[in-house]
Structure 1
Amino acid sequence: MFLTVSGSAEVRAWRPALSGVVEVLHAHFPSHAYPSHTHDAWTVLIVDEGVVRYDLDHREHGLAQAQVSLLPPNVPHDGRSVRPEGFRKRVLYLEPDRLGDNVIGAAVDQPEYVDPVLRHRIHQLHGVLRDGKEDLEAQSRLTLIEERLRQHLRRNVSDPPELRDPGVARRLREVLDGHVPAGITLEDAARLVHAHPAHLVRAFSREYGMPPHRYLTGRRVDLARRYLLDGYPPAEVASLTGFYDQSHLNRHFRKMLGVTPASFVRR
């Protein structure tokens, strides 16, 4: 992660280990105005403070905190604050093939969406990417975000019907059970189960009352408990059970059991 501070402006930018996202940007601009420019990626933008005014393909648009803006690749746009105190924003830059070339015109015509579900999902994904330790969760959240963006671009914004698919959910659970320490990507799981990634997440969540990443974390914590009771030290347990490090294990262990791994063994 790179932090740049210039005057009173602050920018954090990094390339996450999430396939499909080429860059993440968090920025606070008290006075900066962007000149006209283009990106070679889809720009998914939310504003946390202030109001942004921008021109896209020679048409003026505005973006407030309740909205999501989707700017297509290679289309000129600029950006400036409406208010004197500036603005704070978070941006995901998606690979150009993630949404397709045939929807660029739709994005130019209507780049802003008032969609609380979409905005909340983007907010959640930013939190996961900033932590950088929850790969399956990040993949799942991005899949649902892209699905909803495509719905907007097709002007067909509605959640798909919540149809049960216990067979898909059961097969995904078996795949997750077989990859507890090693983990598995959502795309690889989808290939093994022969289902679309978004359908996998929805079917599993409906059948078992939790998303796949939370189920996998629970299985890892269960495995960690057994290693701890066998006398393994917490740092080694973290490695054996698929957590990034001991602090990552501690966080999820405490969330599930209310105590740290060391306290669990002492008690």
Structure 2
Amino acid sequence: MADPAHPAAPVAPVAPATRVRAWRPDVPGLTEVLHAAFTSHAYPKHTHDAWTVLLVDAGGVRYDLDRREHQTAPSRVVLLPPHVAHDGRAAGAEGFRKRVLYLDTSQVDVQRLGRAVDRPDWTDPSLWAAVDRVHRAVQRPGDELEAETWPAIVTARLGRHLDRTDAAPARGRAPTLARRLQDLLDAHVVDGISLATASAVLGAGPSHLVRAFGHELGISPHRYLVGRRVDVARRLLLAGTPPGVVAVEAGFHDQAHLTRHFRRTLGVTPAAYARSA
């Protein structure tokens, strides 16, 4: 097995055009791999239902996580926790190039979510190299065993970092009004739920619900639900489902509705995302 601390090769400048490639590797625990380059796209606030492991290969990225601003650049590994609102934009005019692993929530203890919010990135050459090896292995047919080995190394090292984080104890999921609304939205990602119905179920006025949700989660209920639907759409598209069918199965009104929100969130159309696989 190669030394995970092997230094990374120099990276080239970010290309001027937007490029996105996404696919679902046949590796347990990995739900998606994404390679992208952007010059001007800014991600709106959204959430994911997976742990997000980010490498920035060129340029820099500024992002708000749980309403705190961060900036990352090559050499740092970023871990964004599931169901926590964040955005992202280029830190400079040159844009950025990134690689992302989406890990199933079973791969990192969700009890560490609070620590990941408090400390989302590290300069760790061994961790960086292990994440890099995952990206390389999942692109080479015949290296399935290596592709399964390196994610385990990545998650073990991430766990050690989270255990060492000088932060408050892991945050629990207290049944606050905002968290109860979040659970309700999670239960109705595709079929949706009206604010009036949610208000009746939770026993709180609509405006109070919206304020409580935004205050605690840093995102509106509508943007949260759109983000969850985009996650569903991504997986269906990478599984080969046509965009018109994906729109209905992910909870969007029609294909145009899907395209509008998908492009705003990810910077590419659903069709282009599917073709990239």
Higher relative contact order (CA 8 A, sep 6+): 2
SS at match of 2:106: coil
Aligned AA (1:29): F
Q: Distance in 1 between matches of 2:35 and 2:142?
A: 18
CA distance in structure 2 between the partners assigned to 1:132 and 1:117 by the alignment: 24
> Quick one: which of 48, 73, 90 aligns to 1:64?
73
Who is 2:21 aligned against? Answer: 12
Task: Provide the identity percentage.
Answer: 51
The equivalent residue for 2:155 is 146
The answer to whether 1:102 aligns with 2:111 is: yes
Question: 1:53 aligned to 2:76?
Answer: no
SS of the residue 2:157 aligns to: helix
Tell me the TM-score normalized by structure 1.
0.55
Aligned to 2:96: 87
Q: Flag as ranges the 4+ runs of structure 1 deviating above 6 A.
A: none
- Superposition deviation, residue 48 in structure 1: 0.3
**30, 41, 49: which one aligns with 1:32:** 41
What is aligned with 1:202? none
1:125 and 1:106 map into 2 onto residues whose CA distance is: 24
1:135 CA drift (Å)? 1.2
Q: C-alpha separation between the residues in 2 aligned to 1:67 and 1:12?
A: 22
User: What are the within-5 Å matches in structure 2 for residues 74-223 of structure 1?
Assistant: 74-155=83-164
Deviation string, structure 1 residues 131-188 (Cα, Å, up to 9, x no partner): 24311111111111110000001017xxxxxxxxxxxxxxxxxxxxxxxxxxxxxxxx
SS of equivalent residue, structure 2 residue 136:
helix
- Provide the C-alpha distance between the structure 2 equivalents of 1:132 and 1:111, rounded to a whole number of angstroms: 32
Deviation at 1:111, TM superposition (A): 0.1
Letter in 1 for 2:33: V
Which residue of the other structure, out of 44, 49, 52, is the alignment partner of 2:53?
44
Superimposed CA distance per residue, residues 221-258 of structure 1 (whole angstroms, 9 cap, x where no aligned partner): xxxxxxxxxxxxxxxxxxxxxxxxxxxxxxxxxxxxxx
Aligned equivalents of 1:130, 1:35: Cα separation in 2: 29
CA apart distance, 1:74: 0.3
Q: Shift of the alpha carbon at 1:130?
A: 1.4
Aligned-pair distance for 1:66? Answer: 1.1
For residues 122 and 132 of structure 1, the distance between their equivalents in structure 2, rounded to whole angstroms, comes to 18
Q: Distance in 2 between matches of 1:52 and 1:26?
A: 14
RMSD: 1.5
Distance in 2 (alpha carbons) for counterparts of 1:63 and 1:27: 16
Counterparts of 2:33 and 2:141 in 1: how far apart (Å)? 12
What is the SS of the residue equivalent to 1:8? Answer: coil
Q: How far did 1:8 drift?
A: 2.1
SS, match of residue 130 in structure 1: coil
The answer to whether the 8 Å contact 1:16/1:132 transfers is no
Q: Aligned equivalents of 1:89 and 1:34: distance in 2? A: 13
Q: Deviations over 1:20-61 (max 9, x none)?
A: 000000000011110000000000000000010000000001
Q: Unmatched 5+ residue regions in structure 1?
A: 1-6, 157-267
In the alignment, which residue of structure 1 is the partner of 2:11?
none
